[in-house]
Amino acid sequence: GSNLQAIIDAIQRGELPAEVRAVISNRPQAFGLERARRAGIEAIIIDHTLFTDRESFDAALQTAIDTYQPALVVLAGFMRVLTPAFVRHYHGRMLNVHPSLLPAFRGVNTHRRALEAGVAEHGRYSEKGTDPGGRQRRDSRRTRTGGGASPLSPGYPLVRRGPAAPE
């Protein structure tokens, strides 16, 4: 939900010329749904546990997304691997925001694992499709020791002005 909030805040400050048409989550308890509602954005749940396979879930997700005719689909905090057919459908129109500098620390708990590994820098990047292809932007910050993983997270900009960092 913090990536979503960063997007909402940047739009409200006039720093991001965009509109969030809907927030869709596969987890009914995701706090991003509440953030969306508070911002007046439609919040939709498509619970992946109600589907027999990944393909049928992705088909339902694609149908829901397509009703909004988005210019861009942003996967921010969406922690499921998507089928190749889904990714192809949104080719060139989908960004996956991942909280680590992939390929390091794939999956969940990336900040905690980066601190435990003692890396000097950790970050966030957005990419086309799913891990690890077509990088669009790469941001990193020095890690901080002590105090656990939570102090690391708030300092990462999701939306920032200027050119993408070099690969």
Q: What percent of the chain has pLDDT over 70?
A: 60
| pLDDT at 145 (0 to 100) | 43
Mean pLDDT, rounded, for 51-60: 96
- In this structure, the number of other CB atoms found within 10 A of the CB of residue 62 comes to 16
What does the pLDDT look like over 112-154, one tens digit per residue?
A: 676 677 766 655 544 444 444 444 444 444 444 444 443 333 3
Q: What is the mean pLDDT of the chain?
A: 73
Closest CA to 6 of 158, 118, 140: 158
Mean pLDDT, rounded, for 55-60: 96
| Residues annotated as catalytic (active site), given as ranges | 98
